[in-house]
Structure 1
Amino acid sequence: MIVVNKMQNILLIDDDEDLCELLDEYLSSEGFKVTSVHDGETAIARAAEGGWDAVILDVMLPGANGFDVLKRIKPDLGAPVLMLTARGEDTDTVLGLELGADDYVAKPCSPRVLVARLRALLRRRQHEPGAALRVGDLSLDEGSRQVEVGDQTVSLTGAEFNLLRLLVRHAGEVVSRDLLAEEGLGRPLGAYDRRIETHMAQIRRKLGASPDGSPRIQTVRGSGYQYVRRG
């Protein structure tokens, strides 16, 4: 068993009380402190209390569904969200990522897999030392995980930040989809996996175009993506 140095607070949102009890027992044995809620409105209220290191959120909930909950809590949460989706429901996965989820696990899943994904998310969220990275009018602070374009702060999900950081670190170079998935999302791509494309669309939308109107991030067909360095 891997023991974390600090007990991390997990908000578990799922209407299946038996599953919550099972996951609570397993996560607690792995060093996490779990709070379970079973409906959307209660989840929104508990999330607003703050102090969470991560949220595990099921799509199917009574009251407000998982997507409604995600839209309500994500802007002020300050923690990664791991969504639980029905196996084979790609539309749920894509919508969750577009709304700001940081990763997903298809149900039914083993507690061991869930903990592994959760740990990977938390590792990627740890602040890293170092000065801000700057390319043109974009500034990316690895310590505070803050991104600014000009004088405007850009709100990114954890996954979006990790992907953009890789591109900015290698500005002017092509970064492969496989590398983006493994280092930015913490796991390799599967067959017909569109997570990278989904995240890139969101990043582009949030950053907007360069001052001269050209794209900041270019798709290099068959290779990957490049954050364009100008001047």
Structure 2
Amino acid sequence: MNYQEKTILIVEDEPSLATVLCEYFAQSGFQTHIIDNGLEVIDWVKRYQPDLLILDLMLPQRNGLDIYRELRTFSQVPVVMATARIDELDRLIGLELGADDYICKPYSPREVVVRVKNILRRVSDEGRAQENQLGLHIDESKMTVSLNGQNIILTPAEFRLLAFFSKHPQQVFSREQLMTHIYQDSRIVTDRTIDSHIKNLRRKLQQASQDTSSTSECIKSIYGVGYKLAL
């Protein structure tokens, strides 16, 4: 797995601990970002779509449990919950919140990196299994796409859009979020641009599918919100 394409959001208000974690993740090729208070997390996740969160339980202004619960209303991004208390860790596990892992301070940064790698590998394997089941294959290194063995010719923007959707199946994204991901050079585009890409993707997926009924709404419009991949 190429970890250089993976971004870890470290939500931690202890600067020295956050810095050490960043250094260990950087040694493995990860990109990292640090947030030291609870109020900035949700907006940052919505805007930048990190691949995993290290989320401290006790944060200034908003605690980790509240953040986690709101995250799960719009995202399935993997989360590792961190706490400084053993009894708190037991309570978290007892709540069965669904976090991907739990760690207790003081912890070994090296072990945290290993745990994160294991989680991302599992998520990737699950994504590939789902991809195989759907018959949709996306090779980002070669920028090729096929559906049930039928090659699909996409523009670069269409490819980035479909690849992004495939990593977050069933997750709804606004047009602004999609534009931010597809056009990372901050060019000015309109909502109609995304709508046009979606229309073209739908048409090309239908043409490549042997069963057009199964792909007729593969990218669903969510009224007033945006789009999601529903294959």
Match for 1:128: what amino acid?
A: R
Report the equivalent of 2:106.
Answer: 108
* Matches of 2:73 and 2:2, distance apart in 1: 27
**Alpha-carbon separation, structure 1, partners of 2:3 and 2:52:** 16
SS of residue in 2 equivalent to 1:117: helix
| Pairs aligned (count) | 134
Give CA-to-partner distance per residue, 1:67-103, whole Å, 9 cap, x none.
01101122322310011123422113333x42x3111
Asked if 2 retains the 8 angstrom alpha-carbon contact of 1:27 and 1:115, the reply is: yes
2:194 matched residue in structure 1: none
Q: Which residue does the alignment assign to 2:32?
A: 34
Structure 2 counterpart of 1:46, from 36, 44, 47: 44
Match of 1:124? 122
Which string of whole-angstrom CA distances, capped at 9 and with x for unpartnered residues, describes residues 103-142 of structure 1? 111111101110011011101101123327xxxxxxxxxx
Q: Aligned partners of 2:76 and 2:34: how far apart in 1?
A: 19
Distance change (3 Å), C-alpha of 1:5 and 1:13: closer
1:84 aligned counterpart, secondary structure: strand
Report the 3-state secondary structure (helix = DSSP H, G, I; strand = E; otherwise coil) of the residue aligned with 1:49: helix
> CA deviation digits over 1:30-76, x for unaligned, max 9?
11111000111111221121421111100011111000110112232
Report if the CA contact (8 A) 1:85-1:93 is conserved. no
Q: Is the 8 A contact 2:3 2:30 kept in 1?
A: no
- The yes-or-no answer on 1:80 pairing with 2:78 is yes
The aligned counterpart of 2:67 is: 69
User: Which SS does the other structure have where 2:33 is aligned?
Assistant: strand
Runs of 4+ with >4 A deviation: 143-146
Gaps of 5+ in 2: 135-165, 171-231
Q: TM-score, normalised by structure 1?
A: 0.52
- The residue number in structure 2 matching 1:92 is 92
Of Structure 1 and Structure 2, the greater helix share is in 2
Quote the Cα distance in structure 1 between the aligned partners of 2:123 and 2:7.
14
1:144 CA displacement? 7.4
> 1:87–1:108: 8 Å Cα contact kept in structure 2?
no
Percent of aligned pairs sharing the same letter: 33
SS in 1 for 2:86: coil
TM-score by length of 2: 0.52
Bigger radius of gyration: 2
Match of residue 11 from structure 2: 13
| 1:214-229 → structure 2 map (5 Å cutoff) | none
